Amino acid sequence: RELTVQLGERSYPIYIGEGLLDQAAFYFDKHGIGKQSPLLIVTDEQVGRLYLDKLESGLRAAGYRTVSAVVPAGEQAKSLSQFEELITIALKAGLDRKSAIIALGGGVVGDLAGYAAAAYMRGIRFIQMPTTILAHDSSVGGKVAVNHPLAKNIIGAFHQPAMVLYDLATLRTLPPREVSSGLAEVVKHGLIRSAEFVAWIDENADKLRALDPEALGYALYFGCRVKAEIVSQDERENDLRAILNLGHTIGHALEAVGGYGELLHGEAIAIGMVGAARIGVELGAPREVYEVTKRVLAKCGLPVRLPAHFDTDAIMDAMRHDKKFKEGRMVFIVPTAIGDVVIDKNMSAERVRRIVEQLKEEEQ
C-alpha cells in the first residue's frame, strides 16, 4: 500500500507492506538517495539485534555506504547526550549535505534520529523505517525531538522525512504489551475521524492483537492516512492538528506521574481517551461515545481504569506544566460523536480533575 503526505515541495511517500526492509535500496534509489554520500542508520539495541544486519547488508549489496549507531532501548535514549553522540558519529563518518539519516525502530529512534537529521548541517534528509505499531503515528508528520530532564519533547523541530518505509513483517517480534500500546493510536485515529473505522476495529480487535497481516495492514494504512491528511492541512499545529492530541492531555500527565515507566504511551492515552469521552458525554455527546471508546480500547488489550495509587494532585500539577494551561483553563480535545471531536480552548481544570478521580473507578 502507498500513500502520499501532501506538503507541496516537501510531499513524501509512505510505503506499507511486508518485506520492505529487504527492498530498502530499491526505494532509496527510486527517491533520489544517492550512493556517493554515506548513510547513517540509527537503531536501538533491541531492534538492531533483530534487523540491522539485514538492512545494512541489503544497502551495501546495492552499493550504498552505511554506518550505524545503536542506542539503548527506551525513552532515555531521547537525550541531548545521545543526540551529540549521533552527531559525532555522523562527522567521523563524513556525512555531508547529500547524506541521509535512517531511523530503524520505534518512536524513540524516530524522534532522536529525526532531530539529529534536522540539526546536522542545518538539516539533511531523513528516512523513517518504523518497527512498532505506535510508530505509524510518530513516523508521519515531521515532529522530531529529544527530552530535557525537566520536560519531554521540549528540544525539537519540524523536519519532514523524505520517505516512510513501513515493513509490517518487523512487527511480529513486538512484545504483546507494545502491540496494544500502539493500537491505542490506531483507535485514536478512528475516534477523531471515522465512526466506520472504529466499528471495524470493534469487530477486528482480536485479529489486530494477533498481528493478522491483512487486518494490521488495513488498520495501519487507515491510521497513517488520517494522520497524513491532518498534517497536510495543518503542518505546524496552528489549529486542526491539535485534534491528534485526543487523550493526550491526561495521558501525558499520567506518563509523567508514572515516571515514564509504569504506563506505556499508548496505555496512558487509552485512559486519557476514556476520560475525554466521559467529558464529551457530560457536555452533551451521546453516551455511546463513552461506551464504545471504552469497549474498543479494552478489546485492544489496553487499560481503561486509572490505577488508584496515581495521585490526582500530582496529575493536575503535571497538566499545569503544559504550555497551553492558563488560570485554571486548558486546551482539551473533546469527542462530540464517534469519529468527531472539537478543540475546547477553555476547559475547566476542575472538570478534568473530577473526571481523573472518576477514572479510578472505571470497570476494567
Query: Beta partners for 66?
Result: 39
Going from the C-alpha of 136 to that of each of 105, 197, 208, the distances in angstroms are 11, 16, 14
Give min distance, CB of 206 to ligand NAD, in A. Answer: 21
Is 107 a residue that touches ligand NAD (CB under 6 A)? yes
Residue 267 binding ligand NAD, by CB under 6 A: no
Q: Which of 28, 39, 44, 218 binds ligand NAD (CB under 6 A)?
A: 44
What is the DSSP track for 51-78? IIHHHHHHHHHTT--EEEEEEPSSGGGS
Q: Are strands 151-158 and 163-167 parallel, antiparallel or unpaired?
A: unpaired
The answer to whether 320 is a known catalytic residue is no
Determine which one of 92, 122, 309, 323 is catalytic.
122
At residue 354, φ and ψ (nearest 5 deg) are: -65, -40
The verdict on 194 binding ligand NAD (CB under 6 A) reads: no
**Cross-sheet strand order for the sheet of 340-348:** 325-326, 329-337, 340-348
143 is catalytic: yes
| Closer residue to ligand NAD, CB minimum distance, 109 or 219 | 109
Instruction: Write down the least CB distance from residue 94 to ligand NAD, Å.
Output: 28
Q: How far is the CB of 281 from ligand NAD (least distance, A)?
A: 26
Name the active-site residue from 252, 278, 294, 299.
Answer: 252
288: left (phi over 0), alpha (psi -120 to 50) or beta: alpha
Catalytic site includes residue 49: no
Segment 323-362, which members bind ligand NAD (CB under 6 A)? none
Task: Classify strands 163-167 and 329-337 as parallel, antiparallel or unpaired.
Answer: unpaired
Around Cβ 53, how many Cβ atoms within 10 Å? 11
Cβ contact 235:11 at 8 Å = no
For residue 265, indicate whether it is catalytic.
yes
For 145, the grid coordinates are 525531538
- Least distance between ligand NAD and beta carbon 133 (Å): 8
Active site positions, annotated: 122, 143, 185, 227, 237, 241, 245, 248, 252, 265
| Binding site residues, ligand NAD, CB under 6 A | 44, 46-47, 50, 73-75, 78, 105-109, 111, 131-132, 134-135, 137-138, 141, 143, 153, 170-171, 173-174, 178, 181, 265
